[in-house]
Amino acid sequence: MNRLLIVDGHAYAYRAFHAIRELRSPAGRPTNAIYGFVKMLEKMRQSVAPTHLIVVWDGGLSAERLAAHPEYKAQRPEMPADLRPQLDGIASYLNAVGVAQYCEDGVEADDYIATLARKSAVAGWSVVIASSDKDFMQLVSDRIGLLNPNDKAQTIWTGEQVMVKAGVRPGQVADWLALMGDAVDNIAGVPGVGPKTAAELLRQFGSAEVMLTRLNEVKSDKLRGALENSTALIRRNLDLVRLPEVQCILAPEQLGVQPVNRERLRGLLVEWGFKSLLAALDAEGVSEKQAELI
Q: Is residue 37 within 8 Å of residue 22, measured between CB atoms?
A: no
14 and 78 Cβ atoms separated by less than 8 Å = no
pLDDT at 25: 97
- DSSP assignment of 98-145 equals T-EEE--TT--HHHHHHHHHHHHHHTT-EEEEE---GGGGGG-SSSEE
Using alpha carbons only, give the angle 191, 197, 202 rounded to the nearest 5 degrees: 115
Whole-number pLDDT of residue 250: 85
Report the candidate in 3, 12, 25 with the shortest Cα–Cα distance to residue 273.
Answer: 25
pLDDT tens-digit readout, 16-50: 999 998 899 999 999 999 999 999 999 999 999 99
Note the residue count of the chain. 294
Q: Do domains 3-162+243-280 and 170-241 have the same CATH topology?
A: no
Instruction: Report the alpha-carbon distance of residue 86 to residue 76 in Å, rounded.
Output: 19
Distance CA 111, CA 97 (A): 25
Residue 293's pLDDT is 41
Per-residue pLDDT of the chain (294 residues; tens, 9 = 90+): 899 999 999 999 999 999 998 899 999 999 999 999 999 999 999 999 999 999 999 999 999 999 999 999 999 999 999 999 999 999 999 999 999 999 999 999 999 999 999 999 999 999 999 999 999 999 999 999 999 998 888 899 999 999 999 999 999 999 999 999 999 999 999 999 999 999 999 999 999 999 999 999 999 999 999 999 999 999 999 999 999 999 988 889 999 999 999 999 999 999 999 999 999 999 886 555 544 444
Classify residue 89 by burial, with Cβ atoms within 10 Å: 0-12, 13-18, 19+.
buried
Give the separation between CA 227 and CA 111, rounded to whole angstroms.
28
pTM attached to this predicted model: 0.93
Looking at residue 154, what is its pLDDT?
84
Question: What is the residue extent of each domain of the chain?
Answer: 3-162+243-280, 170-241
CATH number of 3-162+243-280: 3.40.50.1010
Rounded distance between C-alpha atoms, residue 130 and residue 10, angstroms: 11
pLDDT at 289: 54
pLDDT of residue 152: 82
Q: Residues near 208 by Cβ (< 8 Å), separated by ≥ 6?
A: 175, 178, 179, 201, 202, 234, 238
What proportions of the chain, in percent to the nearest 5, are helix, strand and coil? 55, 10, 35
What CATH superfamily classification does 170-241 receive? 5' to 3' exonuclease, C-terminal subdomain (1.10.150.20)
